[in-house]
Amino acid sequence: MMTTRVLNPCLRLAACHKARPAGAAALCASRHLSSTRALNLRVTVMFSETGHQRLDEQLTKIQNTIIMPAYLPLKQRKMVFSPKLATQLRKDPLSIEVDGVDYRFRTLNMFKDVPNSKKALTDALNLMVEAKHFKNLPTLLSGFRKAGIVVNPHQTSNMTRKVVEGGNVSAMVECAIHADKTGYTITRMEDLVRMLLALNERIVASGWSLEEVTKVAKTRNNIMELLERPEHNCNHSFRSDYKLQLRMPVMLLMMFSKASLIKAKKEAGQDVSTDMEEMQQEIVRLKTLWDSYMAKVWDISDIADYLELSPAKCFDLKQQELLRQRLRARALEMMAELFPEHGTQLNYMRRAFRSFLHTFVEINLAECKFTEDKKIDAVYGCADVIGELSRGGSMEGKEEMEEKEEKEEMEEKEEKEGKEEKEEKKEKEEKKEKEEKKEKEEKKEKEKEEKEGKEEKEEKEEKEGKE
């Protein structure tokens, strides 16, 4: 709670109207600086100490020079930044009370004391490492918003990437919950996909432990609820009326965590009937979405959702993007295990995604500075987490699934080879038949010519005999 404390309650405006000696006007002006009207200001949270000296210093600097002046009325704020009133402020500073702490304003030089807001935010984020550091993020964004500083989409994406790659998705969710104060909204698919990817990485890293999967599922549900709020509805460049939660990349990452929860519960002997019903509905939606996409495009790479996430946009191939593709394929694989009745189409979709991944890597390697070893890693593993996925972690039935997959691929290969061989054989037979037919016609023609020649010869001999 923030309130103003009037430092000079004995001040009377009438004194300023009376005749006074020289210097009295200056004294009155000096006293007027400390007299602020009652303000109904409220600050929910102040920066908490992190134990990181440089970070604490950076946050204090931001608070003193950018955030706190924004809570003063315009007139008093101008006084703080006025060089002419520096002497008076040093003698009698403005004062406000914030959460029981007396905060005093002294003069600030707009050009020397106030840092560049973009650089200040970046420096603070770079110093945040531990989870307790990121607890100050909502306060930081809220302060920037109060100060009228707009964090542009590029900064927002960089911030999201920095925070979620450090495993602090909850900090971004907290910012999104208080979007009216922080200004942070989930309206870009890239930001949402990064958050979901970080959650799924936690599942893989934990070996699909029920405790961790349950925590991830809770955060996932919070994100899904947030996406239903109007402030998180996006105006997308491709499809402005399309909700993020109904986009294929997002659906598959969400279904990965849902399928993981079902698996973990099954292993723990818990009831999964409700979860299975929900997943069944999501699979139906996914199949409908897949059919609608593939009716319009030739390949996955032509889908607008994946064009948007293509690393060609940033001219770099990130391991995170490869992991996203693998997690989508893994989500389909797990759903095929859980729902055999949908297995045929889900396995087809999974193979399509894996094929897309390999093509995706090969096409984009030209834009990347990869060594040969890194190229192999990119195609076949590309990180410890992907390696864990390829080995299946602690997921049951992986060997059977791989064996089934190899069998299916072999059958497809044999079917393809058999079809090609059959077509080749048919072509040869048709060619042979044509050649035989041609030979017969030539032979018949030759016999006809011989017969005609013989008849002419006999006729000629007969004529000569008569003569």
The answer to whether residues 164 and 158 touch, using CB atoms and an 8 Å cutoff, is no
Give the SS3 label for residue 313.
helix
Q: Which residues pair with 103 in a beta bridge?
A: 96
- 425, part of any domain: no
Q: List the strands of the sheet with 2-4, edge to edge.
A: 2-4, 94-98, 101-105
pLDDT confidence of 365, banded at 50, 70, 90? very low
Phi and psi (nearest 5°) for 342?
-105, 10
Residue 298 is predicted with a pLDDT of: 63
Give per-residue pLDDT as tens, 247-292.
878 888 888 888 888 888 988 989 888 888 888 888 888 778 877 7
SS3 per residue for 336-377 = HHHCHHHHHHHHHHHHHHHHHHHHHHHHHHHHCCCCHHHHHH
Distance CA 101, CA 230 (A): 37
One domain, residues 101 and 189: no
- 224, part of any domain: yes
Give per-residue pLDDT as tens, 58-104.
998 888 888 888 877 787 778 787 777 777 777 777 777 666 667 67
- 334, part of any domain: yes
- 271, part of any domain: yes
The answer to whether residues 61 and 120 touch, using CB atoms and an 8 Å cutoff, is yes
For the ranges 4-8, 210-214, 233-237, 357-361, the one whose mean pLDDT is highest = 210-214
Of 46-50, 162-166, 185-189, 389-393, the one with minimum mean pLDDT is 389-393
One domain, residues 211 and 93: no
One domain, residues 191 and 324: yes
Q: Which domain holds residue 16?
A: 2-105
In the structure encoding, which two tokens stand for residue 284, read together? Answer: 């139906």
In the structure encoding, which two tokens stand for residue 395, read together? Answer: 């997921």
One domain, residues 246 and 392: yes
DSSP string computed for 24-91: HHHHHHHHHHT------B--S-PPPP-S-HHHHHHHHHHIIIIIGGGGS-HHHHHHHT-GGGHHHHHH
Give per-residue pLDDT as tens, 124-155.
999 998 888 998 999 899 889 988 888 888 88
- Of the residues 413, 435, 454, the one at which a domain ends: 413
**pLDDT above 90 coverage of the chain, percent:** 8
One domain, residues 214 and 363: yes
- Of the residues 413, 443, 458, the one at which a domain ends: 413
Distance CA 419, CA 429 (A): 15
Residue-averaged pLDDT of the chain:
70
- Of the residues 50, 74, 105, the one at which a domain ends: 105
- 150, part of any domain: no
One domain, residues 217 and 362: yes
pLDDT confidence of 55, banded at 50, 70, 90? very high
pLDDT confidence of 219, banded at 50, 70, 90? very high
- 206, part of any domain: yes
One domain, residues 204 and 71: no
In the structure encoding, which two tokens stand for residue 161, read together? Answer: 């990437």
Element (H, E) at 101: strand 101-105
- Report the sign of the C-alpha dihedral through residues 206, 212, 213, 216, in that order: negative
CB atoms within 10 A of CB 372: 7
- 340, part of any domain: yes
Helix/strand/coil percent split, the chain, to 5? 70, 5, 25
Q: Which residues pair with 98 in a beta bridge?
A: 2, 101
Question: How many domains does the chain contain in total?
Answer: 2
CB atoms within 10 A of CB 358: 13
The answer to whether residues 396 and 333 touch, using CB atoms and an 8 Å cutoff, is no
Give per-residue pLDDT as tens, 435-454.
888 888 888 888 888 887 77
One domain, residues 192 and 98: no
The answer to whether residues 231 and 179 touch, using CB atoms and an 8 Å cutoff, is yes
Phi and psi (nearest 5°) for 2?
-115, 130
- 117, part of any domain: no
Give per-residue pLDDT as tens, 366-408.
444 434 334 333 333 333 333 333 333 333 344 455 555 566 6
